[in-house]
């Protein structure tokens, strides 16, 4: 937490109570209000709304590859676990790296669904100025953890979406030897074609691809919600059979 952020007087009490109640939790965050509001951009408002819809450990896990699902200034973590993992420099955000390592190690990260931290935004924030927060570095971070964990036991996966977001993630995963066997698209002009050797198929074709891990890589909460609903209706389970990434 930076010195110019503000926290509610009940914040630490509420988060410590959550850790005491949830002995399976390794860490816990809370919701935020970004300020000053008059200079807050649309992207910052959207990120705040997204963060504040994450209300527990299951949602943290499901949203982990969209953005960092817990605002780092809110993170309260058990001391022994932090001492074991520590922070490290891999050229991407060390706070996001820590959260993904927590989840990758099988730990649960919870959220107190209350706005208990006022998070100051400004042009000098590292997330706006440091190279490690560039979009390509964030994508490299996501790809590294997807390749190690969700796709760790296989080299092929199904990629849902081939817009700018999906193309960027495909290239990053390729650096880890992971290639899409099929690409799912809803645009009728693409179905039946092949992209880098991967046939483009409609969503319903996934029923004929049992056992394939699916990475849904699209921008926007609305499209991701539709994909989740579609995959759920076909019997696929999020975090086991598919993940959403952005």
Asked if residues 75 and 124 have their Cβ atoms less than 8 Å apart, the reply is no
Per-residue pLDDT of the chain (246 residues; tens, 9 = 90+): 899 999 999 999 999 999 999 999 999 999 999 999 999 999 889 999 999 999 999 999 999 999 999 999 999 999 999 999 999 999 999 999 999 999 999 999 999 999 999 999 988 888 888 899 899 999 999 999 999 999 999 999 999 999 999 999 999 999 999 999 999 999 888 999 999 999 999 999 999 998 999 999 999 999 999 999 999 999 999 999 999 999
Check if the beta carbon of residue 63 is closer than 8 Å to that of residue 228: no
d(CA 179, CA 157): 6
Residues of the chain with CATH 3.90.550.10: 6-133
CATH 3.40.50.720 spans which residues of the chain?
Answer: 146-245
For residue 88, what are its two tokens? 């490290």
* Element at 218 (helix H, strand E): none
Question: Quick check: 64 and 99 in contact, CB under 8 A?
Answer: yes
Burial of 192 (0-12, 13-18, 19+ CB in 10 A): exposed
pTM of the model as a whole? 0.94
What CATH class does 6-133 carry? alpha beta
DSSP code for 191: T
Residue 7 half-sphere exposure toward CB, CA atoms < 13 A: 18
Architecture of domain 146-245: 3-Layer(aba) Sandwich (3.40)
Report pLDDT digits (tens) over 50-97.
999 999 999 999 999 999 999 999 999 999 999 999 999 999 999 999
């Amino acid at each position: 937490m930076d010195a110019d952020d503000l926290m509610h007087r009940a914040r630490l009490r509420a988060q410590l109570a959550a850790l005491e109640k949830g002995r399976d939790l390794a860490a816990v965050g809370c919701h935020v209000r970004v300020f000053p509001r008059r200079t807050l951009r649309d992207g910052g408002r959207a990120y705040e709304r997204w963060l504040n819809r994450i209300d527990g450990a299951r949602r943290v896990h499901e949203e982990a590859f969209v953005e960092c699902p817990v605002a780092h200034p809110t993170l309260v973590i058990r001391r022994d676990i932090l001492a074991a993992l520590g922070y490290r420099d891999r050229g991407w955000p060390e706070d996001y790296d820590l959260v993904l390592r927590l989840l990758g190690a099988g730990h649960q990260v919870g959220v107190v669904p209350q706005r208990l931290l006022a998070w100051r935004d400004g042009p000098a924030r590292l997330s706006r100025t440091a190279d490690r927060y560039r979009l390509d570095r964030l994508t490299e971070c996501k790809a590294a953890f997807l390749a190690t964990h969700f796709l760790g036991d296989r080299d092929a996966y199904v990629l849902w979406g081939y817009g700018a977001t999906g193309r960027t993630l495909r290239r990053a995963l390729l650096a880890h030897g992971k290639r899409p066997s099929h690409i799912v698209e809803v645009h009728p002009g693409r179905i039946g074609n092949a992209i880098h050797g991967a046939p483009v198929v409609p969503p319903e074709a996934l029923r004929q691809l049992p056992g394939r891990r699916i990475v849904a890589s699209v921008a926007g909460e609305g499209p991701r919600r539709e994909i989740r609903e579609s995959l759920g209706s076909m019997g696929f389970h999020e975090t086991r059979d598919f993940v959403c990434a952005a």
